[in-house]
Amino acid sequence: MTSIALIVAAGKGLRTGLNTPKQYTEIAGKTILRRAIDAFLAHPEIETVCVVIGKDDVPHYNEVVTGLDLLPPVFGGATRQESVRNGLESLTDLAPDFVLIHDAARPFISRELISRCLSKLTQAEAVLPSLSMTDSLKSFEGELITGALNREEIVAAQTPQAFAYASILAAHRTFSGESLTDDTALAERAGIEVAMVEGDPANFKITTPEDIEKARSVIIKSLTDIRTGFGFDVHAFEAGNSVWLGGVNIPHDKRLKGHSDADVALHALTDALLGAISAGDIGTHFPPSEAQWKGAASDRFLRHAANLIGGKGGVINHVDLTIICEAPRIGPHRTAMRARIAEILDISEDRVNLKGTTTEKLGFTGRGEGIAAQAIATVRLPE
């Protein structure tokens, strides 16, 4: 028996108010669409995945599925129903026994729910994961309540909805002229019995901006492996007229000597982030012996470390830096540095702290021979 997951992702996500469709929103280094795809790919009984996408979303889609072995994407239509139909039509050559039709906007689909849908397909041609109602249900007109509905007779429908492939394809073809709410509605219209399985409250659909925040909070809370990394760096002064510090260029009567732009603060911070994920140090990733890093802007190094954390499905929780020198004075530039670091790391400014201190004219920093920086970073990773 072959089962294919058909993920519909051709909507525009207008209700989120975002510029790009919601399924391409990245949370903790992974898009909503990729989370849905990964859940199906990880299921041993799912052969493969086909995604239905918007015509304008090809570059986004290609980025999301880099490195994955999926069926070619299919273009969707103006409605969800059309998108599903296009997807089903694309599978005629493969003719799987079963198809699980899922909304890309539900990234929290569990292995257990997929299994429940599949096992019910041995008894029914169509399967709907449903949730019973806990609140009382009312009908209304305008601002007035007109009556009560019996919640015992009502369930909320989720996806994936699972079907015998030939049956749901036939239903979509027959009723393409009618607009129906979802695929089980089409199945019913075609006289196919739809069986219910228990849905999953965690498998909610992302629809509004609040849902995106809720999804973010669910994902961040699941990152329970909390790591700390420390970084330290020193650069000496040489003749010049400005220094790069914390990603900001500051006029000064000297400059910092180094292979790259010598931004000692960003180097310490990069090492702290690499330390938190046990990924060595800046020199292992960007060897000073390589000519390509000569004069390089250090925001590249920092972004690289942040990307490695994102690649592990983690997030940067907080970073704190201390810049140690007599001059230039850090205070006047602190706000700009903090903003720039937050921008490079793509985190909010309240997750970045930056301090300047002197060594009371003692030691090499006290004598104005160079600048030292220390950084500490806290990251959250999946277990």
- Cβ closest to ligand CTP, residue 15 vs residue 329: 15
Pick from ligand CTP, Mg ion, none: which does 30 bind, CB < 5 to 8 A by kind? none
- Cβ closest to ligand CTP, residue 82 vs residue 271: 82
- Cβ closest to ligand CTP, residue 104 vs residue 126: 104
- Smallest gap from residue 194 Cβ to Mg ion (A): 22
- Find the length of the chain: 383
- Smallest gap from residue 36 Cβ to ligand CTP (A): 8
- Cβ closest to ligand CTP, residue 22 vs residue 235: 22
Among 34, 46, 51, 76, binds ligand CTP (CB under 6 A): 76
Complete DSSP assignment for 165-220: HHHHHHHHHHTTTS--SSHHHHHHHTT--EEEEE--TTSPPP-SHHHHHHHHHHHH
Among 34, 60, 80, 85, binds ligand CTP (CB under 6 A): 80
Pick from ligand CTP, Mg ion, none: which does 207 bind, CB < 5 to 8 A by kind? ligand CTP
- Smallest gap from residue 270 Cβ to ligand CTP (A): 37
CB atoms closer than 10 angstroms to residue 305 = 29
Q: By the 8 A CB rule, do 243 and 250 touch?
A: yes
Chain positions 4 to 63 lying near Mg ion, rule: CB under 5 A, are 11
Q: Supply 300's token pair.
A: 């590249």
Measured N-to-C along each axis, helices 111-120 and 32-41 cross at an angle, to the nearest 10 degrees, of 50
Using alpha carbons only, give the angle 302, 308, 310 rounded to the nearest 5 degrees.
Answer: 105
State how far the Cα of 103 lies from the Cα of 106, in Å rounded to an integer.
6
- Cβ closest to Mg ion, residue 82 vs residue 125: 82
Among 5, 6, 8, 212, binds ligand CTP (CB under 6 A): 8
Is residue 11 near ligand CTP by the rule CB under 6 A? yes
Is residue 321 near ligand CTP by the rule CB under 6 A? no
Chain positions 181 to 240 lying near Mg ion, rule: CB under 5 A, are none
Chain positions 180 to 209 lying near ligand CTP, rule: CB under 6 A, are 205, 207
State how far the Cα of 61 lies from the Cα of 34, in Å rounded to an integer.
9
What residues does 244 pair with on adjacent strands? 249
Among 4, 5, 6, 9, binds ligand CTP (CB under 6 A): 9
Give me the residue whose beta carbon is nearest to ligand CTP: 11
Q: By the 8 A CB rule, do 205 and 106 touch?
A: yes
Question: CA torsion 10→12→15→18, rounded to 10°?
Answer: 130
State how far the Cα of 165 lies from the Cα of 336, in Å rounded to an integer.
58
Chain positions 83 to 142 lying near ligand CTP, rule: CB under 6 A, are 83, 103-105
State how far the Cα of 158 lies from the Cα of 199, in Å rounded to an integer.
7
- Smallest gap from residue 37 Cβ to ligand CTP (A): 12
- Smallest gap from residue 14 Cβ to Mg ion (A): 7
Start-to-end CA span in the chain (Å) = 34
Using alpha carbons only, give the angle 130, 131, 136 rounded to the nearest 5 degrees.
Answer: 135
Spell out, one character per residue from 205 to 234, where the chain touches ligand CTP: x when CB under 6 A holds, - when not.
x-x---------------------------
Q: By the 8 A CB rule, do 183 and 168 touch?
A: yes
Binding site for Mg ion (CB under 5 A): 11
Binding site for ligand CTP (CB under 6 A): 8-15, 21, 23, 52, 76-80, 83, 103-105, 205, 207
